[in-house]
Amino acid sequence: MILMKSSVGRKILMAVTGLILVSFICVHLLGNLSLFAGADAINAYAHKLQSLGPIVWIFRLVMLAVLAVHVAYGVALTVENSSARPISYMQKVNEKSTFSSRSMIYTGVLILVFIVIHILHFTGHFWVDNVDTLVVSSTGYFDVYTMVIQGFNKVAFMLVYLIAMASVFLHIFHGIGSFFQTLGLANDSTLDYVGYFGKLASFVLVIGYFAVVIFGAVKA
């Protein structure tokens, strides 16, 4: 409760929830990369997750709560900052800021919309062709591999995912540096290194996710 009452506290909550979400993005990418090992690999991976039953739903609810906190305080801090700072001050800040930092609220909104689409697509099986036929009779596993290939065979879906991944890149690009600064883990001598780390991490993640999308499109 104390953290929620101050601007600094809200920034700390933003930083911590952001770190949790980035960690999830990293783990999620590792699972997605099993696509390159073939249909059996990613289908077995997906089946293993589903077999965890209640654990999966508890994890989803926890991540939903983390996301809700991150979004709520992200919007609140954006409103606070824009209303509290005079125009002349904002002009000076903008001169020193980067495109990724100025676009955080916009990339955040795009990512949020994408999350809804992604869940509806891969979990709710919306916009999936012939869902009933995507169960492999020999194993009983849901054919996630074919669903991915079918999804990225649609140009509209491929573009949605590429735009979303570019938004993730920009968001993390600034977010990692902001995390270290907010928690006081960076100073003038280490700030550049933190920036390089943020660039490297966001670049690796976006390349990984782009590779999954391109692989699905090519296989289609």
CATH code, 209: 1.20.1300.10
What digits encode the pLDDT tens for the residues 138-181? 777 889 999 999 999 889 999 999 999 999 999 998 888 888 88
Q: Is 147 exposed, middle or buried (0-12, 13-18, 19+ CB in 10 A)?
A: buried
Mean pLDDT across the stretch 113-125? 92
Mean pLDDT across the stretch 38-51? 90
Number of compact structural domains in the chain: 1
Residue with tokens 């997605």: 32
Question: So what's the pLDDT on residue 171?
Answer: 93
Mean pLDDT across the stretch 197-208? 91
Question: So what's the pLDDT on residue 4?
Answer: 66
Q: Confidence class of residue 95 from pLDDT cuts 50, 70 and 90?
A: very low
Question: So what's the pLDDT on residue 148?
Answer: 92
Q: Look up the domain containing 83 and give its range.
A: 2-219
Q: Confidence class of residue 96 from pLDDT cuts 50, 70 and 90?
A: low
DSSP state of 124: S
Whether 93 has a pLDDT exceeding 60, the answer reads no
Q: What is d(CA 7, CA 81) in angstroms, rounded to the nearest whole number?
A: 10
> What ranges in 33-186 are assigned the alpha helix state H?
39-51, 54-84, 87-96, 99-102, 104-122, 144-152, 155-182
Mean pLDDT across the stretch 67-79? 90
